[in-house]
Amino acid sequence: MTEIHELSAVALRDALRTGELSARQATAHFLDRIATENPHLGAFITVTGEQALKDADAADAHHAHHSRHARATIPAAHDDGAALPLLHGMPIAFKDLTDVAGVVTTHGSAALEHMPAPADGALAASLRSAGVVSLGKTQVPEFGLTAYSENRIAPPSRNPYALSRSSGGSSGGSAAAVAAGLLPFAPGSDGGGSIRIPAAACGLVGLKPGRGLVPAGESTGDSAGLVVAGPLARSAADAALLLDALVPPPSPGALPAHPGGYLRLAAQDPPRLRIGVSLDSPWQSVFPFTPERAALDALDAGIRLLEAAGHETSAAAVRYDNRYAGAFTTAWTAGVGNARIAPQREALLTPLTRTFRRRAQQRSAAKLNESLEFLRQFQRDTLAQYAAWDLILSPALAQTPRPVGWFTGAAHGDGYWPAAEWAADADSDYRKQCEFAPWSSLVNVCGLPAISIPVHWTGGTPGAGLPMGIQLVGPMGSEAILLQVAAQLGF
């Protein structure tokens, strides 16, 4: 018999809508999974089990009311649950950068006062209106700044396929939870790779939508427009279902961008595509790196799958301005300089956050504006080069998932550690991250959609060894095509 957590998100959604499963059954099952698995996984910072069961009961009461009304008005054979919210009763969790009413938002920081949020943030409000049941808050790095999910307030988020390894960041707790079957899928946010990096590390499909498709609102101080919410899922279809809930309905009188939704479109074959293959990175001139064999194996696997599906691949030489690293870092860290932190609590920040906060506060507004203008020009130059192909292909990561504590130089065990024990300085930490994920942040700067697809495992077969993925970047509005390609490749 199939366990509830083994169902795809689409199958679980269908079972909840038909009444085959109740929201309480699904919620209780995943809460049991969290209680069993999270102590060694570190995916959750906060579990809100009591409130989740209350919300599940309310969803079941709504379903019962809907069913009674449907039986009274239409034949049962035609009642497909259409009047229920899109994600009726679906258990999810929010990364701990997102406000959920009545729940503490830690931002992964010991330097903040941890007070319950007075109201839902934009993302939580949107998905609650779609019918989800929130099970809690997932592990994040401090202020979502890093490509690993380790902080000073909770155990690090670990990779379900190798507990000594990181699940990536900044949506690392959410990715670990989905990969380990603690959630059917989860929303993440991506300002420099924070969906795609943990998706690749945990063997998931991770979609970063293009700028403007999903409403912003989860990041303060994002003057470059880098951050967007998107789905982490075990398949393209599951990711498409969550994307349908994230994209707002059209305003009255406007036509929807994709009638019928992304889930329907993901089931269709994409057109034959010209795909440029590139290892070029704007970080290369500042932080020279050499992709590991596993990254190149993933790229080769991706090329084989794409060509077998009928697409054309060719080498793409892309030229990037070597001023990118400084400009991106300036824009990326500007927000932390404005974070409201009491002076007496500054010492509680991690070394990386403290260093970049100090630099941001010392930087002039003119310097930030200069960096933002450069990034706009970088976007124009990059889009002009990408226009020669339908999609751009690279490895998702240049290295296998890193050991817990590797970026910070901290000894790792079952717990977490004070910042004083993090041996690596901020610049060494940051360099390691840029070498680990050199193809991710430029996509945010350009505002383009991109998807991470888990095409390779270091052990040779799915689930064996460590997962490695490819990244496909498309033009604005290509989210459906990216999902179609992932589904076409078997994911």
Residues designated catalytic: 95, 170, 194
Strands 467-473 and 450-457: antiparallel
**CA separation for the pair 370, 353 (Å, rounded):** 23
SS3 248: coil
Q: Is 266 helix (H, G, I), strand (E, B) or coil?
A: helix
Q: Which has the closest alpha carbon to 275: 451, 96, 97, 84? A: 451
- Asked if residues 33 and 52 have their Cβ atoms less than 8 Å apart, the reply is no
CA distance 84 to 19: 11
Q: Give CA–CA dist 370/331, Å, rounded.
A: 10
User: For the stretch 340-360, what's the b/e string if a residue is b when 16 or more beta carbons lie within 10 angstroms of its beta carbon?
Assistant: ebeeeeeebbbbbbbbbbebb
**Phi/psi of residue 86, each to 5°?**
-55, -40
What is the distance in angstroms between the CA of the first residue and the CA of the last residue of the chain? 23
Neighbours of 52 (CB within 10 A): 23
Distance of CA 54 to the CA centre of its chain: 27
In 88-195, alpha helices (H): 122-129, 172-179
CA distance 64 to 200: 40
DSSP string for residues in 381-427: HHHHHHTTSSEEEEES-SSSPPBTTTTTT----SS---GGG--S-HH
